[in-house]
Amino acid sequence: MDVLISGAGLAGTALAYWLRHHGFTPTVVERAPRVRAGGGVAGLRGEALDVLDRMALLERIQQLNTRPGGAARADRDGSPHHLQILRGELIGLLYEATRQEVEHILGDSIATVEQDADGVRVTFERGRPRRFALVAGADGLHSGIRSLVFGPREWFVPHLGIYTATFSLPLDLGLPAGRLPSMPGKAADILSMRNNAEAHAVLHFTSGPLAYDRDDVAQHKRIVAGQFAGEGGPIPRLLEEMSRAEDFFFDANAQVEMCHWSSGRVVLLGDAGYCAAQTSGLGASQALIGAYILAGELAVAGGEHAAAFAAYEREMRGFVAEHQQIGREDADRFFMGMPTQEAPDMIAAGTREMPRTHLVRLKDYAPSFAARWPP
C-alpha cells in the first residue's frame, strides 16, 4: 500500500520508518526545502525509549543525550527512562534511517485531498497529482492536512497563553545556566548541555493569540524582541544573539483537541492530531509511540484502514488525555518560578515527576525484526 505522509518532522519520519518495516510504501512530503533542524530539546521518556530501542537507535540517542552532566535518569535495572536530545538531531537520525528506502519530496506541500472508495487523490502545490491508498497528517500543530480534511484550525486548537522561542548561544557569553531574574509575564532560561559544551536560550512570554506568518523567521524575531524590549541584565545580549541565530524556533503553546483522529482514509499523528503543548514536555514521546502503534495496527489489520485507525485511537486515547492535562496544568503554573535546568522539552517547564495512570503497553507488532544501525 502506498501511504503519503505529510511532514518530515519527528512523527512523520518515525511513521515512515515503521511503515516501511511492515512492508508498506511510504512517501514523505515536506514543505521545507530540507529536513528541519532546530526546534529545541526533545524529552524522551518511558515507552518512547522502548520504541527507539526497537529501532536500534537507543544507544546512539544516549550518546547524544543533552541532560546536565551527560547522565540519563535510570530505572533500578540501570536502563534509562528519561533522555534529552536536540530535536533536529533526533529527526536527522530518523531521516538517515529511512532516506534510502523512502521517497522524500522536499519543498512541496499538499494542496487538495479527494477521497473515494479506492484511495485518495492528492494534488500538490508544485508536483503532479498522485494517488495513494492512505494519507497521514504528521505536519504538526499548524497541520495543513487537518485543515483540509477536518476543518479550520480554530475548531481544534485552544491557545494556552504562552509563546516560546529557542536558539543556541555561543559559549563565551559567560552566563550561568538557569532561569534569569523574574520579569512579569516573561521568562528567560539558559540551558547548559553536554557537560557545558553547548548552551541554548529559551524565551517565554504571555500573550493572547498573535497573527503572524509562520514562515517569516525575521518577523518572529521582531515579535520576541518587542516583547523583551526594555528589560535589563543579560536580556539585550540574548536578543542580540537571537538576531544572528540560524537555529531559531518560535511557536505558541497550544493543544489540539479532536473527537476523532481519522476521517475515511486520512489519519492524524502526533501534534497534528493531539498536541499536548510544549509545557507538557511529552510531545516527542507521543509522536514516537503514536507512529509505532499506527504503523503496527495497519500491519495487523492487513491495511484495512478503518479497523487499524480505530485500534490506534483505542491504544492512544487515555495516554494522550493524561499528557494534555499535564500540559494545561504546567501552562497555568509556568510563571511560578519553577526550576528549569533538567527540562524535558523545549519549554523547560520543570522537573516534577508525572503521575502515570494510563500506560501504553507496546505490542510486538514485529517480534522477529532486528533493526540495524547504520541502515
pTM of the complete model? 0.88
Annotate 47-85 with b (16+ C-beta within 10 A) or e (fewer). bbbbbbebbbbbebbeeebbbeeeebeeeeeeebebbbb
Reduce the DSSP state of residue 292 to 3 states and report it.
helix
How does pLDDT run across 123-161, given as a tens digit for each residue? 999 999 999 999 999 999 999 999 999 999 999 999 999
Residue 184 has pLDDT above 70, yes or no: yes
Q: How confident is the model at residue 361 (pLDDT cuts 50, 70, 90)?
A: confident
Region of poorest pLDDT, from 72-76, 273-277, 293-297, 331-335: 72-76
For 77, the grid coordinates are: 535495572
- Average pLDDT estimate for 283-302: 95
138/193 Cα distance (integer angstroms): 29
For 274, the grid coordinates are: 493531539
Reduce the DSSP state of residue 255 to 3 states and report it.
coil
What distances in angstroms separate CA 100 from CA 16, 93, 96, one per listed residue? 12, 13, 8
Residue 373 has pLDDT above 90, yes or no: no
Residue 375 has pLDDT above 80, yes or no: no
* pLDDT number for residue 215: 87
Spell out the domains of the chain, with CATH numbers in brackets: 2-156+255-332 (3.50.50.60), 161-253 (3.30.9.30)
Q: Identify the H or E element spanning 189.
A: strand 186-193
